[in-house]
Amino acid sequence: MSEKIAVIGGGSWGTTLAGLLADKGNEVSLWVFEEDLAARMARNHVNDLYLPDYKIPDGVTVTSDLSASATGKDIILTVVPSHVTRGVLAKLAPAVKDDAIFVSATKGIENDTLMTIHEVMEDVLPKGFHHRLAFLSGPSFAKEVCLRMPTAVSVASRDPAVAKRVQAAFSTEYFRVYTSPDVIGVELGGSLKNVVAIAAGCSDGLGFGHNTRAALITRGLAEIARLGMAMGANPLTFSGLSGMGDLMLTCTGELSRNRTVGYKLGQGIKLADILSEMKMVAEGVKTSKAAYELSKKYDVPMPITEQVYLLLYEDKGPKQVVRDLMTRDLKSEIG
């Protein structure tokens, strides 16, 4: 069954998902914030700013009119940075029909409130939408999905029927979607892996090898799972696609923005200089602050997260970060 879908956010991932959904025969509207970019995309069917090598299917209608993009749509897919999600939803909500489903593909945590995206959505959207929220996450670089390389992700919703409907709308022969009831686990896995990826990239930038990266990924996953369980997540989620799968991809893949930030920090480049050269958002920079605050709120030890926070926000040197991590009090791995 084809759906009428609005994709809110014209970055590389939003553009990719819009194209995937249109290829399935869905009626797709893609909202792009930048008016000049939206005009060029509508004219040339290319996102020359974020995804220049991808030809956008003719079935995608590009617009910079937020309300018009969402009017009459069955599914509203939000793919905007976490720090603008609240504002975009507030402007968007009045145009959405009452029985629409909201799907979030945003990976982040709101810094000021420490809310996950599902909490932000419940805070902004009318209660009638709260049981029709879903969250898409998993190991998925946009460029590889554009090339139709086999990819598997998760969609989480508290309502199984909603999860299955989103699963059907998004699944293709190269993009496989699994359902999950664990909204908080899927969200945290997708958000916190970006923090660990900065650490892994920093390790690579310092010239360390596979041993170091493997240790960071493994102990980083332990941190994510500890916080997740404290917040009510199912621990099994973190061994799945939106947990270990996304963590492995983001910590090792050359296309990872967060790993790239860490790599350059390890080489001694200042954060402000790194971010000034980036077109797209590296969510882990903001998420590291929120994750650090959540670790304090829930009294969960997260040493890697803490050191990434100090690296980014207290200008701590990367070599000192490594030294402090390696010389902490000795502990048991389990428990």
pLDDT tens digits, one per residue of 157-176: 999 999 999 999 999 999 99
Residue with tokens 């145009």: 95
At residue 65, the pLDDT reads 97
- Whether 193 is a known active-site residue: answer yes
**What percent of the chain has pLDDT above 90?**
97
At residue 47, the pLDDT reads 98
pLDDT at position 153 over 90: yes
Set 24, 73, 107, 193: catalytic member: 193
At residue 130, the pLDDT reads 97
At residue 215, the pLDDT reads 97
Report phi then psi at 329, rounded to 5.
-55, 140
Q: What does the pLDDT average to over 18-46?
A: 97
Q: How confident is the model at residue 60 (pLDDT cuts 50, 70, 90)?
A: very high
Q: How confident is the model at residue 335 (pLDDT cuts 50, 70, 90)?
A: low
Q: What does the pLDDT average to over 40-64?
A: 97
Residue with tokens 């994709």: 7
Report phi then psi at 77, rounded to 5.
-100, 115
At residue 278, the pLDDT reads 87
Listed residue (52, 5, 58) closest to 27, CA to CA: 5
- Distance, C-alpha 67 to centroid of its chain: 24
Q: How confident is the model at residue 334 (pLDDT cuts 50, 70, 90)?
A: confident
What gap in Å lies between CA 2 and CA 217, rounded to an integer? 39
What domains appear along the chain, each with residue ranges and CATH number?
4-181 (3.40.50.720), 188-326 (1.10.1040.10)
At residue 135, the pLDDT reads 98
Q: What does the pLDDT average to over 218-241?
A: 98
pLDDT at position 308 over 90: yes
The mean of the pLDDT values for the chain is 96
Q: How confident is the model at residue 279 (pLDDT cuts 50, 70, 90)?
A: confident
pLDDT at position 142 over 80: yes
pLDDT tens digits, one per residue of 67-107: 999 999 999 999 999 999 999 999 999 999 999 999 999 99
Q: Which residues pair with 175 in a beta bridge?
A: 151
What gap in Å lies between CA 56 and CA 20, rounded to an integer? 9
At residue 1, the pLDDT reads 75
Contact partners, residue 275, CB within 8 Å, separation at least 6: 261, 282, 285
Listed residue (286, 291, 295) closest to 313, CA to CA: 286
pLDDT tens digits, one per residue of 31-41: 999 999 999 99
Q: What does the pLDDT average to over 210-224?
A: 97
Give the tokens for residue 133: 């929220």
